[in-house]
Structure 1
C-alpha cells in the first residue's frame, strides 16, 4: 500500500506504472478472499467452541461429571493424531475397498465354476449350453426357458421375462447375448469365440445399450450420495455399486492400455476426493462425484470405439 501511495504522489513516475500497480493490488486482493473466508470460519468455530465450554463450566464448575476433562483429552488426541488421520484416511478406504473387491472376485470365480456344472443340454442337438443362453451355440436352437441373472451376473432360480432385456444384461457382464459364453477380448467390436456372434454390429443395439446405462445415472447418484454420508464404511458399498452399475458395462470393453490410463487418472483424482469424505455435508458428494466422473470417462472411451469403427466401415465403402 505504501508503494502504491508513493507511485500516486510522485510526479516522476508515469501514470501507466501507477495503473499497473493498482491492477496488481486488485489481483492480490481477490486472491486473499478465500483466505479471509477460511479465517472467518475458523474464528467463528473457535468462538463457538469457547462459548460451549463456558456454558459447560458454568453448569459444572468442579467438573464432577468429568465431561470437561474428557473434552480436553479429545482435543489433545485430535491435535496429535488428526493430521495422520487426514493423511491415511484415503489409504484406509482404498485398502478396505480392495479387500471387499477381492472377496467379490473370489465369489465370482466360485459361482462361475458352479455355473459350468449347471449347464443344460440343447433340446435339438444335445450340446451342453449355459442355462442363461438364449440359443444353442452349435445349432442356434432357441432356449425356451433361459435362466435370469442377478445384480452380480449370477444365475437366478427364476426364468427370464423379457428376452431382449436379458440380452443386454448378458452383454453388461461381458457375455454373448446369444449363447451366454464370455467374450475374451477387451474391445467393443469382437466376435463370440463359441457361436460367432458379432458384438455391437447392430447400431440400434449399441445405442440402446448406452441408453440403458444412461438412464441409471440419477438413481445411482442418489444412492451413492446416501452411502457417502457414512464415513469410511459407506464409501465402500458406494464404490462397488456405481462400478457395477455405471462403469463395468463400459470398462469391460476398453482396451487394456487405454483402460490402465483411465484407471490411474481417475485414481489420482478420487484419492484426493476421498480425503474430504469425512467432512460433514461435503462427504455426501464424494461418491457421486467419483461415480459421475468415472461414468463419463469410460462412456466417452466406449463411444469413441464405436465411432472409430463406423468411420472405418465408411472408409472401406
Structure 2
C-alpha cells in the first residue's frame, strides 16, 4: 500500500459523507474507462487489478442508484427521509467499497501484515466508515440548522445546497485524483468553517433570547408567554417572514400570534412546531394550536394576505416574466408556506406535482400576459393548498368529537 492509495482512502471519506452512491459510481466509471480521464495520472497496475469495479454492469447499477439519489435530493419532501437515513447508509457503502477495493488492490501486502490476528482490510474500512459517519452527522446537523431559515425550501436554499454538493463530489473526485493532499486539506477547512458558523449561530440565537421578567429563564424574544411560569409578555419582538427576530416590538398580541402560527411556531412560547398527523400541540408548553387564535381566525388572516398578494401580482404582471416570477415567489413564501408547514409530506409531494404542471403552463403565458398569469397562478395554488389544509383540520376535529 503506497502513499497515493492511503490518500485515496482518506480522500474518499468526505465524498461519501456527502453522497452515498455518486462517489462509488465515479470510481467505478474511472476504473472501467480510465481513458476518459486522460488528465489524471493513475497507476496502471491499480486499474488493471480492479477488475470487480471495472465491470460495466456495476457501473450501470451504480449510475442508476446515483440518479435516484440525485432526484430524491432535489425533492424537498423526499430529502427529509433521505437525510434521516444517510448517516447510516453512507458508512456502510464506504465500508463495502473500501473492502472490495483494498482486498483487490493490495492482496499481497495486506496478507503479509498481521495485526493481532485481525484483518487489516476490515480495520481500515471500519476506521474510514466511522469517519464517514461522523462527517455525515455533522452534515446533517448543519443542514438541519440551515433548514431553520427556510423550512419549506421556498427560497430554494435546500436545492441550492444539493447542487453545490453534487458539484463538490464531481470536482472533489477529480481533485482527489489530481491533488489528493490538497483536496483533504481543503475539505478540513470547509468542515472547520461550517462548525464555526454553526457554533456562532447558536451563540447568536442564545443571545437573541431574553430573560422572563418573572422567573428569569431564557425564552424566545417573540414569545407572548413564558413556557416555564406562564408569565405573559406584553410587548414581544416582531418575527420576520424567515423566522428572524425584528428589533421592533408589538402590542398587538392577537396579530402577533397569527404571525407566529404562520411560521409554524407556538403562539405562546414561540417554539417551532413539528409536523404532526393530528392537531398540532406544542411540545414545550403543551399549547394546542388554533385554539387561541382559532383556526377560522388564522384562515381569515391568510385570506387577507391573499387579497393583497393577488392585487400585487396583477400589477407586477405587467412587467414581462420578471413580475410573474416575483409574484410566484411571494405566493410560495407568504401564502402557501404557512399552510404547507402543517400538511404531511405526502400531501405536499402530490401537490408539488400539480404545481409544476401549473407553473410550466403559466410561465409561458406570463411572458406576454403576466397580468393574467400571475394572479391566476397565485389564486390556483392558494386555493388548492388552503383546501387541503382546511380538510385536514376539519377531519381532525371530527375525530376529536367522536372521542
Q: 1:301 to 1:100 in 2, by over 3 A?
A: closer
RMSD: 2.8
Name which of 344, 350, 356 aligns with 1:261.
350
The superposition leaves residues 125-180 of structure 1 with CA deviations (integer Å, 9 ceiling, x where unpaired) of 22110110011111111223311123443211121120111111100011100001
Please give the alpha-carbon distance, in whole angstroms, between the structure 2 residues aligned to 1:307 and 1:177.
20
Instruction: List aligned pairs for 1:19-34, cutoff 5 A.
Output: none
Counterpart for residue 310 of structure 1 = 397
Please give the alpha-carbon distance, in whole angstroms, between the structure 2 residues aligned to 1:102 and 1:266.
19
Name which of 231, 254, 263 aligns with 1:164.
254
Q: 1:158 to 1:100 in 2, by over 3 A?
A: closer
Task: List, as ranges, runs of 4+ consecutive aligned residues in structure 1 with deviation greater than 4 Å.
Answer: 103-106, 109-113
Give the deviation of 1:277 after TM superposition: 1.5
Q: 1:247 to 1:110 in 2, by over 3 A?
A: farther
Is the partner of 1:198 in helix, strand or coil? coil
Q: 1:220 to 1:188 in 2, by over 3 A?
A: farther
Please give the alpha-carbon distance, in whole angstroms, between the structure 2 residues aligned to 1:111 and 1:188.
36
Question: Which ranges in structure 2 are unaligned for 5 or more consecutive residues?
Answer: 1-152, 162-197
Q: 1:314 to 1:188 in 2, by over 3 A?
A: closer
Please give the alpha-carbon distance, in whole angstroms, between the structure 2 residues aligned to 1:166 and 1:111.
28
Q: 1:153 to 1:125 in 2, by over 3 A?
A: same
> With structure 2 as the length reference, what TM-score do the two structures score?
0.49
Q: Whose radius of gyration is greater, 1 or 2?
A: 1
Q: Does 1:209 align with 2:298?
A: yes
Q: Is the 8 A contact 1:188 1:200 kept in 2?
A: no
Q: Is the 8 A contact 2:281 2:288 kept in 1?
A: yes
Q: Does 1:240 align with 2:329?
A: yes
- The count of corresponding residues between Structure 1 and Structure 2 is 214
Question: Which ranges in structure 1 are unaligned for 5 or more consecutive residues?
Answer: 1-97
Q: 1:186 to 1:248 in 2, by over 3 A?
A: farther
Counterpart for residue 320 of structure 2 = 231
Please give the alpha-carbon distance, in whole angstroms, between the structure 1 residues aligned to 2:222 and 2:353.
35
Instruction: List aligned pairs for 1:139-150, cutoff 5 A.
Output: 139-150=229-240
Structure 1 residues 221-230 or 174-183, which shifts more?
221-230
Q: Does 1:102 align with 2:157?
A: yes
Please give the alpha-carbon distance, in whole angstroms, between the structure 2 residues aligned to 1:198 and 1:288.
34
Please give the alpha-carbon distance, in whole angstroms, between the structure 2 residues aligned to 1:170 and 1:184.
14
Please give the alpha-carbon distance, in whole angstroms, between the structure 2 residues aligned to 1:233 and 1:254.
30
Give the deviation of 1:99 after TM superposition: 10
Counterpart for residue 43 of structure 1 = none
Please give the alpha-carbon distance, in whole angstroms, between the structure 2 residues aligned to 1:250 and 1:266.
15
Is the partner of 1:216 in helix, strand or coil? helix
Counterpart for residue 39 of structure 1 = none
Please give the alpha-carbon distance, in whole angstroms, between the structure 2 residues aligned to 1:257 and 1:124.
43
Q: 1:168 to 1:307 in 2, by over 3 A?
A: same
Give the deviation of 1:304 after TM superposition: 0.5
Give the deviation of 1:186 after TM superposition: 4.8
Counterpart for residue 123 of structure 1 = 213
Q: Is the 8 A contact 2:154 2:329 kept in 1?
A: no
Counterpart for residue 73 of structure 1 = none
Q: Is the 8 A contact 1:229 1:284 kept in 2?
A: yes
> With structure 1 as the length reference, what TM-score do the two structures score?
0.61
